[in-house]
Amino acid sequence: MKSTLNVNGKILKLTSPQIVGILNVTPDSFFDGGQYEQMEAIIARAAAMLEAGADWLDVGGYSSRPNATPITVEEELHRVIPTIKAIQSTFPTSKISVDTFRAEVANKAVQAGAHMINDISGGTLDDKMFETVAALQVPYILMHMRGNPQTMQSQTTYENILVDILSYFRKKILKLEGLGVKDIIIDVGLGFAKTLTQNYFLLNHLEYFKRLNKPLLVGASRKSMIYKLLGITPSLALNGTTAVNTLALCKGANLLRVHDVKEAKEVVTIFEQLSTSSD
């Protein structure tokens, strides 16, 4: 597996699982919507996640929860660009990812100081995204999704979910690499156009996607695959998230995208100790 990323000219080795801390500057995200809209709260949240061990801060200004209300490009830019600039200014050594499926937002976010693009649509919702990533030469998280946040839950029928998603990734990777994109991270898209059962099937077969020779990111934090299964709310889904993150690492995940950095860091520490002890 490719085990390095070029981050702003510096080589980042993925020898240890990376923690990607979620920073949603939205009023309507499913778990923390509305908590981080004021800059003081945003910076405090960023500081807390970095202190807890986050390797990345993933800034998102457009909620991708099912049936989320669409917003304009202008509104998304209004949310994420000042946030990225403030984080970069306050924490100049931090690594920032921008969670967007829009090429214009991705471009302006990188110009503002972001180092990576996290695209839930894998280039499907903006046909300029791939060429933008190629021009920017930044790492790109390629996620699997069907439809959009408003329609994805009605598109969960697969002939063979592993083969179908692998084929999706291979086609996208071929196109990206043809454009000169060098650093691609794979995200199977838990919760995006998948049923609860399909989510756990993918988690259980995560190593299947290692044949793509790309780092794997898993983002299951407090999602419905956890809280609906357990009959609880997202606010009570931390324990379930920890269980899923542990399984994801055992199945080959290289990056965990999480709301709760401290707990995820503890999972990584224990996982690495287990790995060391097995040698």
Residues annotated catalytic, as ranges: 223, 257
Residue located via tokens 């990533």: 133
* AA letter at 213: N
User: Contact at 8 Å (CB) between 262 and 53?
Assistant: yes
Indicate the Cα dihedral angle 50, 17, 138, 128, nearest 10°. -100
Burial annotation 67-92 (CB, 10 A radius, 16+ → b, else e): ebeebeeeebbebbbebbebbbeeee
Closest CA to 55 of 104, 13, 19: 19
Residue located via tokens 């807890």: 52
